[in-house]
Amino acid sequence: MITIKSIAKEANVSEGTVDRVLHNRGGVSKKTEAKIKEILKKHNFKVNPVARALAMKNKFKLLTLMPNYDSDNLFWESPYLGILKASGEVKNYGVEVDNYFFDQFDPQSYLNQFEALMDSNPTAVVIVPTFIKETKRIVDRLEKLKIPYLFFNIDLEGFNNISFIGQDSYMGGYVAGKLMHLVLGDESSFLIVLPRLNVANYYAISKRIEGFNDYFIKNKIKNESLTLSIDNLNDVEYAKLKINSFLQAHDTVKGIFVPSSRIAAIVQVIEETSIKKLQLIGFDNTKQNLKCLEDDTVSFLISQKPFEQGYESIHLMADFLVKNKTPASKIYSPIDILTKENARYNERKERDFQHNDH
């Protein structure tokens, strides 16, 4: 079997020079680099990623920046569990993963956690780019330091992230629009509930709303589309008063679309007499949302495989660091339509991980 020593002898260079070319460390002339690569190609020499990582003494520090989760916002637990599973696997390749969490409703928390992350001197970063303006600041700093970064769950355009993994938010909203049309028919009246203000700054939600509305526009379907913002769903009495007053004033509404993971919180505050007359469509298979699906208060949920998003984002970046393997620029998650009947079969990998490790 060909060795680095024999390659160095054939190229008439030191073993250290061959090592530099193998691991893209620079400091080698283009002519010498080309000569070494030709010899490597001739002998079909491939670097063992485990050996490489061990030789580099666990050089890679991969850090994640993502929203925190709690009992009111459970969605981000799933991608975090995916990250945990992948972290244990890539550790064998010399990639250490650490996680930083921010308040998804607070742009300053996003920036503060990024500063804490940078104090740990990351080799690469995986980001959920929740806020557009603040992400520009974050990315500008990463690019100046030549730190590679990957986006997951939220796909912002105009950045140099090596890849994006997550759902096509526009198409997810478009599918939700089609489902609403199927259950309500033509000339229907429906309500889009926004659980937080300043929707333009939450890219995924705004794209879902755009896709939802475009389904009706592109198919020339007459409808009445209404919008209601509820900026604090945790204040149950406030939310209850706001949505029920709205529904009483607009009694033609037959469907509700919630373009976030908080549809269970909306169900909680709608009066029982009203909920029986409504078709509700939302996103994500959190435990609360699945319960609403099970008791028929929600008609459909659109899932995006969040566990796999977290899991794959770590493996994609680890392959980039260890194997110099550049992923596709966009890797889209499925747009899964969940019903009462099929929801239990979704996210099997996450349930297996929780059962085996937690």
Q: How confident is the model at residue 289 (pLDDT cuts 50, 70, 90)?
A: very high
- 186 belongs to a structural domain: yes
Q: What is the pLDDT of residue 44?
A: 82
- Shared domain for 163 and 196, answered yes or no, is no
Q: How confident is the model at residue 326 (pLDDT cuts 50, 70, 90)?
A: very high
Tens of pLDDT, residue by residue over 330-349, are: 999 999 999 999 888 776 55
Query: What's the 3-state SS for 217-285?
Result: HHCCCCEEEEEEECCCCCCHHHHHHHHHHHHHHCCCCCEEECCCCCHHHHHHHCCHHHHCCCEEEEECC
Q: What is the pLDDT of residue 16?
A: 75
Cβ atoms of 313 and 83 within 8 Å: the answer is yes
- Shared domain for 177 and 294, answered yes or no, is yes
- Shared domain for 193 and 293, answered yes or no, is yes
Q: Final residue of a domain: which of 303, 319, 351? A: 303
- Shared domain for 200 and 292, answered yes or no, is yes
- Shared domain for 281 and 207, answered yes or no, is yes
- Which has the higher per-residue pLDDT, 265 or 59? 265
Q: What is the pLDDT of residue 355?
A: 47
User: What does the CA dihedral 291, 296, 302, 304 come to, rounded to 10 degrees?
Assistant: 20
* pLDDT (mean) for 183-210: 82
- Shared domain for 134 and 121, answered yes or no, is yes
Closest CA to 21 of 8, 2, 6, 12: 8
Q: What is the pLDDT of residue 195?
A: 77
- Shared domain for 250 and 197, answered yes or no, is yes
Tens of pLDDT, residue by residue over 224-236, are: 999 999 888 888 8
- Which has the higher per-residue pLDDT, 149 or 5? 149
Q: What is the pLDDT of residue 25?
A: 63
CATH of the domain at 248: 3.40.50.2300
- Shared domain for 202 and 91, answered yes or no, is no
**Total number of domains constituting the chain:** 3
Cβ atoms of 83 and 99 within 8 Å: the answer is yes
- Shared domain for 187 and 295, answered yes or no, is yes
- Shared domain for 132 and 150, answered yes or no, is yes
Q: How confident is the model at residue 40 (pLDDT cuts 50, 70, 90)?
A: confident
Q: 120: how many CB neighbours lie within 10 A of its CB?
A: 10
- Shared domain for 199 and 266, answered yes or no, is yes
* pLDDT (mean) for 289-317: 94
Q: 276: how many CB neighbours lie within 10 A of its CB?
A: 10
Q: What is the H or E stretch that residue 70 is in?
A: none
Cβ atoms of 66 and 101 within 8 Å: the answer is yes
Top-ranked range on mean pLDDT: pick from 8-22, 59-73, 210-224 = 210-224
- 355 belongs to a structural domain: no
* pLDDT (mean) for 122-150: 95
Cβ atoms of 66 and 99 within 8 Å: the answer is yes
Distance CA 16, CA 9 (A): 12
Count of positions (residues) in the chain: 358
Is 306 in a helix, a strand, or coil?
helix
DSSP alpha helices (H): ranges in 65-123?
A: 77-90, 107-118
* pLDDT (mean) for 260-279: 92
Task: Identify the burial level of 146 via C-beta atoms within 10 angstroms of its C-beta, where 0-12 means exposed, 13-18 middle and 19 or more buried.
Answer: exposed
Q: Which domain holds residue 178?
A: 169-303
- Which has the higher per-residue pLDDT, 342 or 113? 113
Buried b (16+ CB within 10 A) or exposed e, 17-41: bbbbbbeeeeebeeebbebbeebbe
Mean of pLDDT over the chain: 88
- 343 belongs to a structural domain: no
Q: How confident is the model at residue 29 (pLDDT cuts 50, 70, 90)?
A: confident
